[in-house]
Structure 1
Amino acid sequence: MEQYCMYLRKSRADREAEQRGEMETLSRHEAALLALAARNHHPITKIYREVVSGETIAARPCMQELLSEVEAGIWTGVYVMEVERLARGDTIDQGVVSRAFRLSSTLIITPIKTYHPDNEFDEEYFEFGLFMSRREYATIKRRLQRGRDASVREGKYIGNRTPYGYYREKIPHDKGFRLVPDPDQADVVRNIYKWYCNGIPADGVSPTTFGMAKIRDRLNGLGIPAATGGPWTISSVSGILQNPVYTGKIRHNYRPAEKSLSGGVITVRRPRNGSGDLYDGLHEAIISQESFDMVQDFMKNRKLPSIPYKKKMANPLSGIVRCSVCGKVMIRRPYQSGRQCTLMCQTAHCATVASDLDDVEREILNGLAEWLKDYKLQWNIPDSADSSPAVSMLQTQLVQKRKEEERLQSQLDNTYDLLEQGIYTKDVFLTRNKMVVEKLEDVHISINSLEKEIVLEQKRLQAKIDVIPKVENILDVYWTLPDAKSKNDLLKSVLDKVIYTKSGRNGPHRKVHYTFALDLYPRLPKSP
């Protein structure tokens, strides 16, 4: 049975057109392609709507799903407004798209032309279209970058996030934006610089020791929200103290994107590039250049000596235990006095109380032993994954949905027959056709969901079989392992996380009575 789908994606020109008030792009393209499919008597059983902007296939989840189904030979043809909508990235991505359609003999149907991958001339035409699309994309990127560079040199603000202390304003009778001081936030910025340089007149507070942590506490104590709307952190205070935008400058190329290829996957890093490129901005300065330079000198002199990084892991619970109050990963705290290490929350002034690391580690192992005991009692593990009642029930539902799919497909075929016989007018045909196609699409979504649930349930059952010997092995060998890294790897193989709760401190005579609670989350497949 022939099956056709539709792939919709917005281009940059489409977004610019929508900003000018033109019709929503995806709806317009969908209507045009549905009409084309109706003329071709091709039932559209699935529609992919790509709403994210991504340069590569890795950044476009709908495209990834479409390509996997094309490679599996599910689709007879794919409707798309232009071949350029499929891939505008580099030659590797375009080669992946071209190969998937060619090997599966899947048609690419556009309002202008239908591409037959088995036809060498169509194949050349298709690849030439992708080549021209890539050139056009590179040209657009160069033009946009030149425009951004020119705007920065003119003093305009091009960032997506407005720095704290300012709001963004459209420049009258010109393109672009400029920064305008926010009266309330600008006073906060001035106070941050004043406090860092001079301190706050208060008993017991020395101006030379008033650092970022105390500024953070002061702002949070006054109930002033940070730029994110939440509490202030040391990094948010540091970001304000090091940002030259408050002196009337525009900072550009401060964190340029650096792409690298690792394991066939493109990763993007944005390392800091010193102070970047500075230009005179169109906005009013909040801080004088002298105050800014003074802060930079203070920060340089206050920097602590760097401590050599120890590559050897010392915390066997690293990345596993989380605080129940703030959700942050808890860290190991060593003591120079010889006292044994504790496990503490890294959030300043968090209400969670620390405990000895050895005690937490021992209780996690005890908790795993108790959990395993209950786990064995609760689960009646079948001989094979396929014999589960849950799998049988899902497979029964899948059979019913496939019967419903056949019935709807028959109805869809009848709409074309009734149109050809003159019983349906064009408007009635489009209405009925769209109704049946929408029902078919819902059925296909249900079928895909059921198939995924069946696979997941089978994996879950297999995990029930595998997890018992794995946990038993951990309980047997854990205390014999030579280092923290080995213990950490073993715990992470069976635990997603552990939630730690402790609100009160142990008294000096109650050391053996642990007042903390642990919630263990075993590593099992999650529900769909």
Structure 2
Amino acid sequence: MCGTFLHKGGIVMECVAYLRVSTEKQAEEGNGLDSQKRDIENYCRKNQLIISDWYEDDGFTGSNMNRPALQRLINDCSKKKLKCVVAFKLDRLSRSMVDGIYLIERVFIPNGVDFRCVHDSVSYDSPMEQAYTQMMAVFAQLDKNTMLLRMRGGMLERVKQGYWMGGGNTPYCYRYSKEDGILVPIPERKEMALRAMNLYISGYSDVRIQKLIGFKSEFVTRQVLTSPVNIGMIPYKGKLYKGRHEPIFDIKVFELAQELRKTRKQSKSFCVNHENQLLTGLCYCGVCGCKMRYQKWTHGKHKIYCYSRDNGMSYLPNYNPNCSNSLEWAEDIEKQVEDEILKISLNLSSHKPKERESCLDILSKQLQKEKTKLKRLYALYAEGNDTVLEMIKETESGIDELKLKIQNEMKSPDNSQKKEFVYDNIKKLADVWEHIDKQNKNRILKTIISKIIIVNGNIEIQLKKF
């Protein structure tokens, strides 16, 4: 408990001291705990104060009040155990204007605590002094915000130069080198990532890859396969910057994997039969559009039927309880698919899917139309029609936007690698088909077939682009 008593030098009051430092850099700049303690002790000697306790927050930010020593100080003030608190500066107590004024007006003053600062004048004795103290709190927050702005600006420049941001959130396949400021691949994890990428492109799911490779979770597996860090990029504030670190994956392989990921729909349907069949995940009903599934039938055989026949699947898109599609023996449908796909493998050119108009083609056509429209408007304006001036400005602005979109589209990676991958898989199909098991056949089919449409026993195979 703080109090006052007589001393040979006069009346002396007991006090407590509050210290805070958040970083090693502050200590190097002269604001360390030792420096604060020295100045507080000198101040107390000159002002007849004796320090009875020290409240120290070492390594805590001043932007909030989540600090153990500060909370102990507030608790002791509320119990009226203290009479005087001394701090190095007001920003040591808090860098938040709201928190600083709250502590003075809602903690110290109501509990009769005299708050003093060695290097700042803090007083509520008059309106002018009160205003000055509040301005000091404002400047403490301004200093904090300015410091944050500098840090963010410095971080952006660092990232632009290809250096890693530092900190504890290091990507799975790397360790952070403080000396060089870059990420360094961990050899064994790099090897795991490369194996995982090969499996994913071969048709394995994230869950299956996790179990085979030994990643901690499906989330880690997905992060490894999708993070741009693994192709030498650094994501920062929603943008990507070229990093100085060694990439894990070849960029073309990475882009192919991302394209394949887009085409693989995560089915939320649950099937009683968990055995991986030849056409699992590929069959669609040609009558209602729902997915079709395998159903175990008599003597261990299977039939393929539409999900619309299952009352428990009413939440699925295209569900139609009146679907008239027939149940078909799985082996009959599989035989048709095998025969057809092997024919395609032997004669690729006649089965090549028709290319749809690309986004670039559509934008180019739109640009040509707008240019033609602009020429007509110019002609009208030349004839003295001033009413078209606003339309000319709008059309010119639209043309500029279209040109920008075309430039961005031209920069975006095409799917040539993906098409080449599909083409190679179809081409080699006839050579390997008889030598691989049903599970691997299903994986290959998923890389080359978009859908198999089934209508009353008849099939239509829709291939992916190649």
- Compute the TM-score of the two structures, normalised by the length of structure 2: 0.50
**Radius of gyration: which is bigger?**
2
Q: What TM-score results when the alignment is normalised by the length of structure 1?
A: 0.44
